């Protein structure tokens, strides 16, 4: 199976909270990476996981990105992660499939 990148769009809801378009995000262990995108600055932190990079699009793009590496911890089936944007934190889940 080819490596896959799950793309998750983040928007601000009516309260100004950063909300992913998929919750929970489901990824396959050692096969999927996650890429979050939004037209505003945000930060992703994942409890117990540190392979996360943030960047801003180039060539005139205002899009912001956050990407992970693979999830390879066989003992973990779920991660709590935090989206920080607009002065607010939201804590959705990542589910890891075997």
Task: List the pLDDT tens digit at each of the 98 positions of the chain.
Answer: 456 899 999 999 999 999 999 999 999 999 999 999 999 999 999 999 999 999 987 676 778 999 999 999 989 999 999 999 999 999 999 999 99
For the chain, domains (ranges, CATH) are: 4-97 (2.60.40.420)
User: In sequence order, what DSSP letters do the residues of 26-82 get, joined into one string?
Assistant: EEETTTEEEEEEESS--EEEETTB--EEEEE--TT---EEEEE-----TT-SEEEEE
Q: What is the pTM of this model?
A: 0.89
Residue-level pLDDT at 57: 74
Distance of CA 17 to the CA centre of its chain: 15
């Amino acid at each position: 199976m080819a490596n896959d990148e799950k793309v998750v769009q983040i928007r601000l809801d009516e309260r100004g909270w950063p909300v992913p378009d998929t919750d929970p995000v489901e990824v396959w262990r050692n096969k999927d990476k996650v890429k979050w995108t939004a037209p505003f600055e945000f930060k992703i932190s994942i409890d117990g996981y540190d392979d996360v990079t943030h960047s801003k699009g180039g060539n005139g793009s205002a899009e912001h990105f956050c990407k992970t590496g693979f999830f390879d911890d066989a003992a973990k089936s779920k991660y709590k992660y935090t989206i920080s944007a607009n002065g607010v934190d939201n804590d959705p889940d990542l589910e890891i499939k075997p």
